[in-house]
């Protein structure tokens, strides 16, 4: 085989794998919500967005395509860049429900751009950019996690609650077992940090998680004020 033929074959294989990666499907979404009080303790510092301090509610972290084996695709389409003009009608709702807490203080566009380009582009077989962000907002409203926990007597008051009670309250309301991730603050307290809900590939219905994330939590966790 001539050397240039070998190179051509390798290039063809690389091109094929590239196309395969772009078209590769996924099995479900993780819909991830984070508690801002714990985020600020996790990082030891946080910066409120330019629009001001967010309301004391769970904020969206992301909507992440996943595989049933625990793996996940990422950065699936480098040509599909975040375009805020496509979601201009959602902007005020995104600022309220999907706020950035990263430093330096921002307007949210960097956060949303990262989430779309890393995760959203891997769901383009189902959702375009507007659909992706709109679906996330609807899922947050549907879950209504803070109210769910308050209804069970679990409040962001710096008190400690049984992890099992938090899981049970969410399962009773949503119908499915959540994944829970905790952080440890400067006083070594295990805190309720992120909640993972599993969603079907249309990003409209909650489902039982094919695999749960491995969250490190104590049996009793603090629900910090914000």
Q: Which are the catalytic amino acids?
A: 61, 115, 119
Judge whether 61 and 102 are in contact, CB under 8 Å: no
CA torsion 129-132-137-138 (nearest 10°) is: 130
CB of 49 closer than 8 Å to CB of 98: no
How far apart are the C-alpha atoms of 148 and 143, rounded to whole Å? 8
Count CA within 13 A, CB hemisphere, residue 99.
Answer: 25
Q: Which of 58, 42, 183, 39 lies closest to 101, judged by CA?
A: 39
Query: What are the DSSP calls for 108-160, one per residue?
Result: SHHHHHHHHHHTGGGGTTT--HHHHHHHHHHHHHHH-HHHHHHHTT--SSS-E
Q: In the numeric block, which tokens belong to residue 166?
A: 């938090």
Contact (Cβ atoms closer than 8 angstroms) between residue 59 and residue 33 = yes
């Amino acid at each position: 085989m001539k050397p240039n033929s070998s190179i051509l074959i390798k290039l063809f294989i690389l091109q094929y794998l590239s196309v395969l990666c772009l078209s590769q499907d996924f099995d479900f979404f993780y819909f991830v919500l984070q508690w801002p009080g714990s985020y600020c303790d996790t990082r030891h510092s946080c910066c409120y967005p330019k629009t001001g301090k967010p309301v004391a509610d769970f904020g969206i972290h992301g909507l992440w395509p996943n595989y049933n084996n625990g793996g996940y695709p990422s950065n699936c389409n480098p040509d599909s860049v975040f375009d805020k003009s496509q979601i201009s009608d959602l902007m005020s709702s995104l600022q309220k429900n999907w706020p950035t807490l990263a430093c330096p203080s921002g307007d949210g566009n960097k956060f949303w751009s990262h989430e779309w380009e890393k995760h959203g582009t891997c769901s383009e077989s189902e959702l375009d950019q507007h659909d992706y962000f709109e679906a996330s907002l609807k899922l947050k409203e549907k879950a209504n996690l803070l109210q769910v926990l308050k209804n069970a007597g679990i409040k962001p008051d710096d008190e400690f609650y049984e992890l099992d009670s938090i899981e049970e309250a969410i399962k009773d309301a949503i119908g499915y077992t959540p994944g829970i991730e905790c952080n440890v603050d400067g006083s070594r307290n295990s805190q309720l940090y992120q909640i993972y809900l599993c969603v079907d590939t249309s990003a409209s219905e909650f489902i039982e998680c094919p695999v749960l994330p491995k969250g490190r939590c104590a049996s009793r966790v603090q629900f910090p004020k914000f």
